[in-house]
Chain A
């Protein structure tokens, strides 16, 4: 089994991938577009590096036995060039950790991290996943703690004809038991001082009331999705107010990375990164079943200036060879 760690890098200056399209709210396009563009950029960057190395090789032995552009004969940059095997995981693309960190003192930032547990991952792995995901974010931002960690559980949404109905539908979604069972691991991160506040996403009034009864460290934030109508159902407003939980807006979908999307991103197709083997041609590449495990989104905002300095995603997938 191989673990893959995908990353977008800092996407705030990422151009089109961060731009909203009309009707495009609540989507995973930002994630998929920025992964795709980071893969492409890394392939170009490292191909250029490889090219530079080739040139020096030519100068040394003069045999000129290279393809001259750092590209594999398939026309793609070889995976070994732009990805890296490190500490038991394949980093796609490879990450130069020496560039990690924020520009100013950590105290200047509001850092929000949102962890998406995915339906394609085993519930038993969540404690490990949370630790791993948060660890990557802390490393990437060069900080020791974050202000807010929001948990997004699979199979939940806050949709329907206006928020009234959303609240009603929401009550039956997700899996109360699994969510409650996951929470102690998240509370641990808080107790270890890695996370100042905890949050959840897409909890309607009924689910939230049930959830609060089962937890020790209570969430201070509940992210909900609002459409054009700004009517938050009164029961949820009331409950949140009583419990001191802030209702924040988000526009992510919970099932943010599906198996199919991931295969397309990494696959041999024209919009893929060419990391997976092409079953048609039987060419090189990774083979096997690819299951998304989790996605984490992080945002570092300079607190008293409202400037987003760093935003990005990591995603983890497991490849089980057949």
Chain B
């Protein structure tokens, strides 16, 4: 079972809650996914429509909230959002996300490291979203990150494991759980990450924008389970040359050799 900062999770699929067309659809997709940890963002209450509270409908006992710091462009903004998340959510868990460039939404490694140090010292359980940089992952682990969340591809791109090689190194080196976050577009991408030994994956866009998000959530759940099972089963090694699966002897009855 997956354990992060002493909390255990049966499901290795974490789900984001953004971009759903309705809260009913989001809840149905969450149920289908089997996810126990869901990411949420923080925004101003719309005072012209204060009743529009889609997260209020979620059972927090069933779905553990992992607030993110999306929108933060530097460590100071991320720390401010972390304090708000703790106040709103009664939780000290945090998906730390510092993305200064709205075009690429790639995370700033220096500000992320800085914010992690500050927030760990303040008692937060910090799960930083990072580019797939093995050295940064080690640095974050050293300063007390509870997990690392390298991207498969940029947020919302559905491109899959573009960072496969680097994520492989991160997994090999990590002493904390590795959660592949962002860019996974179809269930096979999630299965690939899990087969490589990722401890979990986080999926949002691919499920939320699917024609049938509930079915897609289920598909990701099955893929994550299959990928994990395959990792535990220990895949055979890749070979450069063909090797017959059937016996290559006792074929004399076909021809004289």
Whether chains A and B associate is no
